[in-house]
C-alpha cells in the first residue's frame, strides 16, 4: 500500500508538472501567434511602402527623362542661337549700321507694332510703354536697335515711342 501511495503521489506530481509545462507551452504558442500576427502586419506595411517607393521612383524617372529631353532641346536651341548671333555679329562687322530716313524708321516701327498685335497668345492690356530706340539699316534691311546706356548713337537715329494701350 505504501508502494501504491508513493506511486500515486509520483504520478500526480508528473501530471501536475506536465499540466504546468502544457500551460507554459500554451502561453508560448499564444505569444508566438501574436508575434506572428505583428510580423505579418509589419511585412504587409513594408510591402505597401516598397510599392509606394517603386511608384515614386517610376514617376521620378519619367520626370527626369522629360527634363533631360527638355535640356537637350534647350541646348540645341541655344547652339542655334549662338550660331545666329555669330552670323549676325559677322554681318554687323562687315556692314556698319546706316541711318534710316524718317519714313523708313516710321514704317519699320509700324511693321513691328503690327506684328506684335497679330501674335497669338500675346496681349497687352492697360499698358504704358516708353521705348527709347534707334532705327538703322543693316545692309538693305531696316532694324530697330535698343541701345545700351553706355552706347552713344547719332541723335538723328534715336526715337522715343510712348504707347498707351487700354483694354477695350
Q: Taking 70 as the threshold, does the pLDDT of residue 122 lie above it?
A: no
Q: What are the tens digits of pLDDT across the range 69-100?
A: 999 999 999 999 888 888 777 766 655 666 66
Per-domain boundaries in the chain: 1-94, 96-165
Report d(CA 79, CA 87) in Å as an integer: 12
Sequence-separated (6 or more) residues with CB below 8 Å from residue 136: 97, 98, 99, 100, 142, 143, 145, 157
Q: What are the tens digits of pLDDT across the range 143-156?
A: 777 666 666 666 66
What's the pLDDT band for 30 if we cut at 50, 70, 90?
very high
**Which grid cell is 39?**
510580423
Contact indicator for 108, 138 with CB cutoff of 8 Å: no
pTM over 0.95: no
Amino acid at each position: 500500500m505504501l508502494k501504491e501511495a508513493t506511486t500515486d503521489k509520483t504520478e500526480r506530481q508528473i501530471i501536475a508538472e506536465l499540466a504546468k509545462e502544457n500551460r507554459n507551452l500554451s502561453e508560448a504558442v499564444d505569444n508566438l501567434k501574436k508575434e506572428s500576427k505583428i510580423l505579418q502586419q509589419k511585412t504587409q506595411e513594408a510591402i505597401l511602402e516598397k510599392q509606394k517607393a517603386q511608384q515614386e521612383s517610376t514617376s521620378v524617372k519619367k520626370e527626369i527623362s522629360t527634363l533631360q529631353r527638355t535640356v537637350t532641346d534647350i541646348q540645341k536651341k541655344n547652339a542655334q542661337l549662338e550660331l545666329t548671333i555669330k552670323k549676325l555679329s559677322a554681318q554687323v562687322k562687315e556692314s556698319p549700321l546706316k541711318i534710316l530716313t524718317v519714313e523708313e524708321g516710321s514704317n519699320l516701327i509700324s511693321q513691328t507694332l503690327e506684328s506684335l498685335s497679330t501674335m497669338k497668345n500675346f496681349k497687352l492690356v492697360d499698358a504704358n510703354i516708353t521705348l527709347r530706340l534707334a532705327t538703322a539699316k543693316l545692309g538693305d534691311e531696316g532694324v530697330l536697335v535698343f541701345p545700351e546706356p553706355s552706347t552713344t548713337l547719332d541723335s538723328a537715329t534715336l526715337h522715343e515711342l510712348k504707347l498707351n494701350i487700354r483694354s477695350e
